Amino acid sequence: MRTPPDLTERIGPMFAQRPTDDSAYEFYDAIREQSPFAIPGLNMVCVGKYEHVAAGFRLPGLVKQDPERRDRKHPGWRDRIGLAQFYQSLLWHNGDTHRRLRGLVNKAFTPKRVADLSGGVTEIVTGLYRDMAAAGREADLARDLCSRIPMHVIGNLVGVPTADQFELLPHVLDFLLVIDPVHAAEATERAVASGQILHDYFLDLVARRRRSPQDDLASALIAVRDDSAALSEAELIQTVYLLFAAGFETTSNMLGNGCVALLTRPEAAERLRQGHARAFTEEVLRHDPPLHFVSRIAEEPVVIGDTRIEAGTEVVFLLGSANRDPAAYNDPHAFVLDRSRTPLASFGFGSHFCIGAGLARLEGEIVFGTLLEHFPGIALSGKPVRRKTFNMNGYECVPVTLS
Ligand code: HEM
């Protein structure tokens, strides 16, 4: 049994730069074979091989930093209302509490509800194409298309009226900054202020839906019952919070990463014109995933592959590395539409597997399947600019001419 080798020296330069650009994938190639490896100064072990990531997510000894554990590590976190709501949501629970909350949310967030959104998503996307065309020949796909789609889709799903969606957008973006591990102190203050605004808004929305239910997820969550317990008022707000936090920037980044892929890879664009939007979406999610890391805490000593990891260690799964592991995908750096169906690491594995994966895929298929049809001559007008975030992987600017 080996102990994880200390790769602090090699990790340093990577942490000093922003890892989520092409150099991240070179870096993953360089360290994957030594994974799991340790960064003792951070009490952290990183896992980069696909096989280990897929198995590691399912290890019972690896748990989420739930509210009780967070109390021990970061006392005072509950004082900041917006962050407190997010960190109490089902994403951050383990065992029976997680099973209960996820079961209740699944009753409202059904595959049928997602499938029924298809027409609405197409309408949203077509409306945004119209706005872009009306605004002139130049556009920024990140700003004008990719970040607006998830806002409208989740807003409509939850039941936030369209006018309010525009007002909430900057607050959602500010709030999300703090989820990234490397952010300026100033971002924390903005995130806390925006968190409070979102909290007050959702509280009011739930109260309105209680008085007068609509055909939306907020009303469905209120109506959900199981034998033992319905969602409490606090759990309801936390869940709505989580859907915005989990489904917003991830999807917006997937759409941006896919737009850049289709504008820079003529062969893939040609396949899209022939109607392969589903396969294209899968390959975008694999090749340049919107999230690069997901972590757990080792509650007890665990073994991953031939490596023993001590209790109390933070275990970080490198999703971007798993998706480019040659042991799981042939020629992993190539962008290829006809791959075997090895499940992607991009949505995680096991009990916390992404609830919104179906919705995200639907949004991808609709955008990638229609963009070239609407704008046959669309082309990059400058170099796309990557976001400066550390974990969230996407573009902040994708300049194009539309004609
Ligand atoms: C391409 C877009 C997306 C990506 C890459 C993504 C990625 C992920 C990942 C990796 C997890 C697992 C986290 C963990 O194990 O700790 C997760 C969980 C989750 N995602 Fe997504 N997500 C996306 C879109 C969405 C959307 C559109 C929604 C809903 C509107 C959503 C809602 C959730 C929720 C509620 C969870 C928590 C599940 C649980 O803890 O049981 N996600 N997502």
Distance 356 CA to ligand 1 centre (A): 6
| 318 touches 46 (CB < 8 A) | yes
Predicted local distance difference test score (pLDDT) of residue 20 = 59
Q: Is the model more confident about 11 or about 119? A: 119
Q: Is residue 1 part of a domain?
A: no
- Ligand 1 atom closest to the Cα of residue 296 is 16
Q: Is 354 in the pocket of ligand 1 (CB under 6 A)?
A: yes
Any idea what the CATH number is for the domain that residue 307 is in?
1.10.630.10
Query: Looking at the domain assignment, is residue 54 inside a domain?
Result: yes
Atom of ligand 1 nearest to the CA of 349: 15
Distances (CA, A) of 270 to 116, 265, 341, 372: 29, 9, 22, 10
221-263 pLDDT, tens digit per residue, is: 888 865 456 788 888 888 988 898 888 989 999 999 999 999 9
Answer yes or no: is 3 within a domain. no
**Ligand 1 contact, 287 CB (< 6 A):** no
Q: Is 321 a pocket residue for ligand 1 (Cβ < 6 Å)? A: no
pLDDT confidence band for 357 (50 / 70 / 90): very high
Residue owning the nearest CA to atom 15 of ligand 1? 352
| Residue 2 in domain | no
The most confident of the ranges 152-166, 199-213, 250-264 is 250-264
Do strands 37-39 and 314-318 pair parallel, antiparallel, or not at all (unpaired)? unpaired
- Tell me, in angstroms, the distance from the centre of ligand 1 to residue 353's CA: 7
Does any ligand 1 atom lie closer than 6 A to the CB of residue 360? yes
Q: How far is the CA of 9 from the centre of ligand 1 (A)?
A: 32
The position carrying tokens 């007068």 is 212
Answer whether 217 contacts ligand 1 (Cβ < 6 A). no
Instruction: Compute the distance from residue 354 Cα to the ligand 1 centre, in Å.
Output: 4
Tell me if 355 CB under 6 Å of ligand 1: yes
Q: Is residue 70 part of a domain?
A: yes
The verdict on the CB of residue 49 being under 6 Å from ligand 1 is no
Question: Ligand 1, atom 41: nearest CA belongs to which residue?
Answer: 352
Taking the centre of ligand 1 as the mean of its atom positions, its distance from the CA of residue 238, in whole angstroms, is: 15
Q: Is 70 left (phi over 0), alpha (psi -120 to 50) or beta?
A: alpha
- Total number of domains in the chain: 1
Least confident of 91-95, 101-105, 145-149, 294-298: 101-105
> Which sign does the torsion angle of CA 84, 87, 93, 98 carry?
positive
pLDDT score, position 232: 85
Q: What is the mean pLDDT of the chain?
A: 91
* 384 is a domain residue: yes
Site to probe by mutation for ligand 1, drawn from 118, 176, 248, 250 as the one with most ligand atoms within 8 Å of Cβ, is 250
Beta carbon of 250 within 6 Å of any ligand 1 atom: yes
Is 181's pLDDT higher than 70? no
323 C-beta closer than 6 A to ligand 1: no
- Per the model's pLDDT, the better-predicted residue between 28 and 341 turns out to be 28
**Per residue in 275-300, is it b (16+ CB within 10 Å) or e — as a string?**
ebbebbbbbbbbbbbbbbbbbbbbbe
Atom 20 in ligand 1: residue holding the nearest Cα: 354
4-46: per-residue pLDDT in tens? 999 988 876 666 666 556 788 988 999 999 999 999 999 999 9
For 265, counting Cβ atoms within 10 Å of its Cβ (0-12 exposed, 13-18 middle, 19+ buried), the class is middle
For ligand 1, is residue 149 a contact (CB within 6 Å)? no
DSSP assignments along 122-186, one per residue: HHHHHHHHHHHHHH-SEEEHIIIIITHHHHHHHHHHHT--HHHHHHHHHHHHHHHHTTSSS--HH
Residue nearest to atom 19 of ligand 1 (CA): 354
Q: What is the pLDDT of residue 15?
A: 63
Predicted pLDDT at 213: 92
Q: Which residue in this structure is represented by tokens 């989580």?
A: 242
Is 158 near ligand 1, meaning CB less than 6 Å away?
Answer: no
Average pLDDT of span 382-398:
90
Residue 67, pLDDT score: 92
Asked if the structure places residue 171 within a domain, the reply is: yes
**Ligand 1 atom at shortest distance from the alpha carbon of 361:** 1
Q: Whose CA is nearest to atom 1 of ligand 1?
A: 251
Q: List beta partners, residue 295.
A: 316
Least confident of 5-19, 135-149, 300-314, 319-333: 5-19
The residue segments making up the domain with residue 283 are 8-401
- Domain contains 157: yes
- Strands in 194-336 per DSSP E: 293-298, 302-304, 307-309, 314-318
Buried-state track 212-244, b at ≥16 Cβ within 10 A, e below 16 = eeeebbbbbbbebeeeeeebeeebbbbbbbbbb
Q: Which residue lies with its CA nearest to atom 9 of ligand 1? A: 347
